[in-house]
């Protein structure tokens, strides 16, 4: 039985805000899109209604991985919001309120133009028809709703990069030390195997992120993820399958943001 293929696309934009689910009045952001944001992004380009797609893009049907292609940094701006307690307050009778708002930008600026953020997304879906629809929309750039980086004010672009046949994916065995190019969960890293050297210049950051919602938009699963701030990848031994793929003469090693076993690293077709 053959394995599902992998779609690869780049998400680009000048600004991003992937709100941390546990923040209150201060809108803090993750440095990269969590699994729920990636699911919402794909649901948006397909034109699916809000809160209607959680099962369709749950971990039993949809895998995704994210690679940070540009070093990122965060900055805080203050945003003015209307102070609303009841529907009658929409006409600004109670004035406005200022809320700190964290924005993700490219770490290095370009004097001539805005420096873009860029994330590479790796996607696969269990449903062949849904996979084909996602592929066609990415290739033709025919999106029902425009792509954005977390919030609608941070518009972006989705560019199709390529497709890797599932049968062409090589698997690096669990426990073998290697470099992974994508963000990975803390649980996927073998204990005491993460490469930490003071002279390496690597800066690892941990984020706790939502993985799935139920149909009522209640959080059902969260995980801690690790990324390298400069986009240099993660050097460790892993408890999960590491997928090695070829993209335009480049070899990329990825792990899914969802929890998978050695037998279900791709969906069976």
- DSSP labels, 170-235: EEEPTT--EEE-S-EEGGGBPTT-S---TTS---EEEEEEEEEE-TTS-EEEEEEEEEETTS--EE
DSSP category for residue 121: E
Residue 254 CB neighbour total at 10 angstroms:
26
Question: 208, 228, 187: which is closest to 68 by C-alpha?
Answer: 228
Three-state secondary structure of 36-105:
HHHHHHHHHHHCCCCCCCCCCCCCCCEEEEEEECCCEEEEEEEEEEECCCCHHHHHCCCCEEEEEEEEEE
Q: Where residue 157 falls among pLDDT bands split at 50, 70, 90?
A: very high
Q: What is the pLDDT of residue 242?
A: 94
Helix (H) or strand (E) holding 140: helix 128-140
Mean pLDDT, the chain, as a whole number? Answer: 89
Sequence-ordered list of residues with C-beta below 8 angstroms from that of 90, at least 6 positions apart, any chain: 82, 84
End-to-end CA distance of the chain: 6
Q: What is the pLDDT of residue 14?
A: 92
State residue 172 phi and psi, 5-degree precision.
-85, 125
Q: Sort strands 117-125 and 62-68 into parallel, antiparallel or unpaired.
A: antiparallel
Flag whether pLDDT at 2 surpasses 90: no
d(CA 6, CA 1): 16
Q: Sort strands 96-106 and 72-82 into parallel, antiparallel or unpaired.
A: antiparallel
Flag whether pLDDT at 112 surpasses 60: no
Q: What is the pLDDT of residue 199?
A: 63
Q: What is the pLDDT of residue 246?
A: 92
Q: What is the pLDDT of residue 113?
A: 56
d(CA 21, CA 19): 6
Write out pLDDT tens, residues 115-130. Answer: 889 999 999 999 999 9
Mean of pLDDT values over 50-66: 92
Flag whether pLDDT at 156 surpasses 60: yes
d(CA 40, CA 149): 10
Q: What is the pLDDT of residue 269?
A: 67
Residue 30: strand, helix, or coil: strand
Write out pLDDT tens, residues 180-215. Answer: 999 999 999 999 998 877 667 788 999 999 999 888
Beta bridge partners of 138: none
Q: Are 235 and 179 in contact (CB under 8 A)?
A: yes
Write out pLDDT tens, residues 13-47. Answer: 999 999 998 887 788 999 999 999 999 999 999 99
């Amino acid at each position: 039985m053959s394995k599902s293929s992998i779609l690869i696309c780049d998400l680009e934009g000048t600004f991003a805000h992937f709100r941390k689910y546990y923040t209150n009045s201060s809108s803090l952001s993750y440095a990269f899109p969590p699994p729920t944001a990636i699911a919402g992004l794909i649901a948006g380009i397909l034109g699916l209604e809000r809160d209607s797609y959680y099962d369709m893009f749950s971990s039993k049907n949809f895998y995704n991985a994210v690679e940070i292609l540009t070093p990122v940094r965060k900055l805080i701006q203050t945003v003015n919001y209307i102070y609303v307690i009841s529907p009658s307050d929409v006409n600004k009778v109670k004035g406005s309120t200022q809320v700190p708002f964290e924005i993700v930008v490219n770490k290095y600026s370009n004097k001539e133009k805005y420096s873009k953020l860029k994330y590479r997304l790796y996607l696969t879906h269990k449903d062949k028809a849904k996979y084909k629809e996602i592929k066609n929309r990415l290739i033709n750039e025919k999106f029902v709703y425009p792509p954005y980086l977390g919030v609608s004010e941070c518009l972006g672009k989705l560019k199709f990069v390529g497709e890797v046949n599932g049968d062409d994916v090589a698997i690096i065995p669990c426990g073998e030390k290697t470099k992974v190019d994508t963000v990975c969960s803390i649980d996927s890293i073998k204990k005491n195997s993460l490469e930490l050297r003071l002279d390496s210049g690597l800066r690892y950051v941990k984020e706790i992120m939502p993985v799935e919602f139920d149909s009522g938009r209640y959080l059902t699963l969260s995980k801690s993820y690790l990324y390298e701030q400069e986009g240099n990848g993660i050097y460790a031994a892993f408890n999960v399958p590491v997928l090695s793929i070829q993209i335009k003469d480049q070899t990329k090693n990825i792990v899914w943001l969802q929890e998978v076993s050695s037998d279900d690293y791709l969906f069976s077709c």
